[in-house]
Structures are given as C-alpha cells and as structure tokens.
Structure 1
C-alpha cells in the first residue's frame, strides 16, 4: 500500500490511522451501478474500503452518461453491462481494493448469497421491489443499510440499523417517498452527488465504528430551490412490522414476492427472468435469429427488429425495449426462446 495514499483521510481525526485500518478490512455491497451506485462506489474505492461488490442488471446507454460517472462513450457504444464497466474503471482507480461486479438481477437467492460477510449495504436501485427485498434481507441478517433516492433536484437518504431504527417497511407508512422517476421528470447530477455524499459519509461512520456520529434522521432536500430538511422518524418504528417487528416474517423473502417479469423504472422496457437458474449460450441465440439487427459482446447479445430491441444476458434474463406491456413482451420473448 502506498504510504501516503490515504494520508489526508487519516488526518481527519474521526477516522485516523486506526479507522483507516478498519476500512481496509471491511466489505461494502452496492446494489445498483447507475448514478448513485457509481458515485458511491468510486468514493468508497478511493477511500480504501477493503472489498467492494457492485451489482446491476442493466447495460450502459447514452442517456446514462450525463450523470453516471465511471462510464464512457465507448461503454455506451458497446452496450457494456454497468457492473462490468464500473468494475473495470474502479480497478484502475485503486488496485488495492478487491472489486467484483456482478451482472445480475438481484432477487432473494442472489442477495442471500451476496450478503455473506458484508458490513454495510448501499441502496442505489431504481425500484421499491428491490429495496423492500434488501430491507428484509438486511433485517434478517442484522446488516446496516443506507437508503438513497434521487429525482429531479430532489434527494433523500436514511440509514437503517436493524434492531435500532425504523426499517423501510415502517417508513413507507409515515414518510412521503414520491412516485416520480428520472425518466418522467429528469434528474440533475449535483442532486445525485448530494445523495451519495450523505450515503457514503454514513457508511464511513459505520465502517470505522463511529455510530454515535450517524445523523439518525431522514434527510430530504431540493438542491435547485435551496430546501434541506431532516425528520425525526424514531416513532415510525413498529413492533408489529412484518420486516423488523417482534415477530418478523420477512415477507419480501417469500416466493410469492419473487416476480419473473418487471417493468423497468420509467422506461419502455420489460425484463423477463427465467424460472430457474441457467447459463444462456449467446452464440446459440444468435444462430436462431433469422433477420433484424444483431450485435454481440462477451457479456450480452442485442437483437433489434422493428420497434423493439431485445437484450439477452448470459444469466438467462432478457430486456425487451419498446414496450411496457408484459404480455406483449412475453410474446416477443417466446417467439425467440420458445
């Protein structure tokens, strides 16, 4: 390790040399490699966290480049999966950190496996289905996680400590989360950075064992209109909560909550997930395509015909662009896959 690499961080008394040594031994899981995920991941890697795992189901598009750091025009042209593009860039930033990017749609089985040995989870997702799953897994395994959301010039963040703070299930009954998305009202990059500044600062406090410094409140802001609010939410914690209460059942880990199709956040895109684990042979898929435009890289195959584009991943998932209709998406899928 370079002697002075983390010198400025070590001079910050709340971290110091001992805190830096703790960081090097810690493992952070980032769910999502979009705007929030890439920003948080870069800060953590530059700060010297020992191990970072980043997970994402999507690939880089041109519209991502405005706010999703770590990605380049080359990544968008080649439709490189975000997890792999992020992993590559992060390894160039700090070769001393163990970095692993996973191209996958996070469901119960995947998350139960990924959570092993993790010290804190950062939420960088774009949907509440995944967040509720993360919430239940973290409650079950008693792992802190940090919620984050961003749209327009608005952002919000809250640190969830199992057994101590309200969980996301509790908060949904008392805190307005909003229903807008980046695709419907847009988003500005500074708002993203504000959210991740809160998330990463909170993560560092947890990782160096300085929980007394945690803000302990729900943070909301509107960066464009100069509004900043913190809310005490202690009373939101419910003993009867199915996710964190006295008799928790972790409902989002049950099979009925594991959907096989999902309309992606604010986009004309449906994801179809196979009913069981598999490894798809992309070359075999390519041979079955008799017309349309086909592009392929080591991670995925893109097939465009008419108004629709289908993206095939090795883990069996397919993204169908050009529709929000699950039935239509399934029909298109079955025409190719059977």
Structure 2
C-alpha cells in the first residue's frame, strides 16, 4: 500500500521524523461543532496518534452548513455530535485511536481526560468553559490553541503556559464583544480560516518546531477584507490569577462557576452567572434574534419556544423547560 502520508512528509519542516512524532501524540478537542469537526478531520488525516473529542450536544439541521462530518441523517436521528464525528473519522483513518465523550465539560469531568494529553484545541462555544479550561491547562502546564468565530470574523492564539499571555490576560486587554452565531450568524469560510490557523499551529507543536509558532493574536474579517496580527506579549500579567506568580485559578473554584437550578413547579431553569449583566450591550446584540423588551433591571426575549429573562445581577430565567442541559444550551447560544 502506498504511504498515505507521503506528500506530508515531503514538506521539509515535517519530514519522516516529524510524521513519526505526529503519530505518537495525543490531542484533545473540546467541542465538536464547526471548529471541532474541521480540526478533528485535519488531524486524523494528518495521522495523529490519538484524538479525544468532547461535546454535550447532538446534531441539528442548523449545524450542517458549517460543521464538517455531519449529514442530514445525523440530524434526523439527533445523533450526539461526538458519536457521529467518531464514526466518520474512523472511516477516514482507521489507524487513529479516537475516544468520544458525551459530557458537559467542567473542571471535574475534564481533569481525568487530560492525562497524557499533549495539546488541547479550543472549539467551545462560550467563555465560561474557556476560562475554566484556561485555568485548568495553566495548572497542568498543557498548551492549547484558542479559536473563535462569528459572522465573517474570527481570531486565534496559541497559549503556552508560563511562556505566553493566557486567555485571562488576553480578555483583560481586549474584552470580547459578546456576539454569538445565534445573534450575528456565521459563514463557513470564517470557520475554515480559524481552523487553518489552529491546525497549523497544532502541527508545529506536535513536531516540536517552536521557532515557527506564531507569537501574535490573529484576527480577521473576511467580508470586509481585514486581516491583522497583533503583538500581545505585553498583555502577560505577573499578577494574573490564572498564570501569574501567585496563581489562584479562580475559574476552578465553585464560587466562580455558572450555577443552575430548576425552579420547582414553574417549568423554568435559573442560571446564575458569576458577573453582572451589561443589559444595554446584551440588548444590542440580541436585537437580531427577536424583539427585546426590558427596563433598568431586566431584559425579556421570546426565543424559539422559550421566554428568556436576563436580570442585571447576573441571573437568567429560561421559561419553558425543566432541563438544565437544554437551558444551558439556550443560554450560551444567546450570551456566548
């Protein structure tokens, strides 16, 4: 049989030695949506030794325009994303060991899965999970590659514990705008641009070519023809609670987590974030989702078959469900 990696080995920075290293490494991808499936396919085709994929969701028709590996039948059958992805990935390369986990990633559930992981790729859909992951990976000294996209825009950055600014540092320097795919939409080329950066950085790390790593935060807007590399090394903060000299890893503590509870007899789930809501900003990015009503204390939105009420103190009520998992999904679709 012809060498399936022959063209990749002809690329001098990888070569035969680099290909062998790729085949010995273990990557974990957190999230199996647009970024997750495309990165997973790239890495499986590249010959990664072991791949762990984690996601709590199932395939829906609204996923199909941008999320690789899924089919209409997967959406009809509501197959969990990691199960559908695992099946397709094994058909692409049966030599790769693939572990699929249907779970809600927390510091408790994620920690045991990180044993002997060489690299993590961020493919999550919310900053609560990212900040938890950032703290955990800083604590465990595991590198990871941040990536996010919405509309026609995206960004990516490679985070090396104790060597580069962590996500907490970056967000202090450049806070996110809060837009989500459900409020602003997304086009698939934006996904592919982020994935191109993430997978390439992953290959560099896998073969040990640290000199070729991109040291800047890359941002782009494909529709408006913007592309920028931003130097962020000065954002590294020695007092950062996640990567500083006296790190406390705040997002691993219970008081910093987003909390949920079912309100008895009301068919409602309450979600309590660890921060106050900026109602004016939230109303602005929700206006494309539906009619937003509110006052100085709360916002109300009818979304799909649910009524969602956001309070200034950080609480959100999801009326129309008694499922915590479903409520969290709706919350992150809207809040990001």
Aligned to 1:217: 216
SS in 1 for 2:234: helix
Distance across 1 between alignment mates of 2:192 and 2:269: 28
TM-score, scaled to structure 2: 0.80
**Partner of residue 112, structure 2:** 113
Separation in 2, partners of 1:131, 1:251: 13
Q: Distance in 1 between matches of 2:123 and 2:255?
A: 24
Once the 2 structures are TM-superposed, how far is the Cα of residue 226 of structure 1 from its aligned partner?
A: 1.2
Aligned to 2:95: 96
Cα deviation, residue 324, structure 1? 3.3
Instruction: Report if the CA contact (8 A) 1:270-1:323 is conserved.
Output: no
d(CA) in 1 for partners of 2:259, 2:112: 19
- Tell whether the 8 Å contact from 2:119 to 2:143 is kept in structure 1 after alignment: yes
Q: Judge conservation of contact 2:25–2:49 (CA < 8 Å) in 1.
A: yes
Matches within 5 A, 1:318-333: 322-325=306-309, 327-329=317-319, 332-333=322-323
Give matches, 1:1-338, under 5 Å: 3-261=2-260, 322-325=306-309, 327-329=317-319, 332-333=322-323
Counterpart CA distance in 2 for 1:328 and 1:127 is: 17
Structure 2 distance, partners of 1:250, 1:172, is 15
Q: Is the 8 A contact 1:32 1:54 kept in 2?
A: yes
- Alpha-carbon separation, structure 1, partners of 2:320 and 2:64: 30
- CA gap of 1:270–1:195, structure 2 versus 1, over 3 A, is farther
What's the offset of the Cα at 1:308? 11
Give, in whole Å, the separation in 2 of the partners of 1:94 and 1:323. Answer: 44
Query: 2:180 and 2:206 mapped to 1: Cα distance?
Result: 31
| Partner Cα distance (1:186, 1:250) in 2 | 33
Does the residue aligned with 2:322 lie in a helix, a strand or coil?
Answer: helix
- Once the two structures are superposed, what CA deviation does each residue of 1:317-338 show, in whole Å capped at 9, x if it has no partner? xxxx73435545597359xxxx
Is the 1:26–1:119 contact (alpha carbons within 8 Å) kept by the matching residues of 2? yes
Separation (CA, whole Å) in 2 of partners of 1:327 and 1:176 = 25
In 2, are the aligned partners of 1:153 and 1:224 still within 8 Å (CA)? yes
Structure 2 stretches lacking a partner, 5+ long: 262-267, 272-301, 310-315, 325-336
- Tell me: CA distance 1:214–1:331, structure 2 relative to 1, closer, same or farther (3 Å): closer
Return closer, same or farther for 1:329/1:84 CA change in 2, 3 Å cut-off: farther
State the Cα distance separating 1:173 from its structure 2 match: 1.2
Inter-CA distance 108–330: structure 2 relative to 1 (3 Å threshold) = farther
Are 2:147 and 2:156, in contact at CA under 8 Å, matched by a contact in 1? yes
Structure 1 residues 226-263: Cα deviation after superposition (integer angstroms, max 9, x where no partner): 1100000000000000000000111111122343439x
Structure 1 SS opposite 2:98: strand
1:57-97 CA-to-partner distances (Å, cap 9, x unmatched) read 11100000010010000000011111111111111111000
Render the CA deviation track for 1:161-207: whole Å, top value 9, x for unaligned: 00100000001111243211111111000110000000000010000
Q: 1:248 to 1:53 in 2, by over 3 A?
A: same
Instruction: Name the SS of the counterpart of 1:332 in structure 2.
Output: coil
Q: Which residue of 1 aligns with 2:283?
A: none
What is the aligned-residue RMSD (CA, Å)? 2.2
Give 2:329's aligned residue.
none
2: CA distance, partners of 1:6 / 1:188: 31
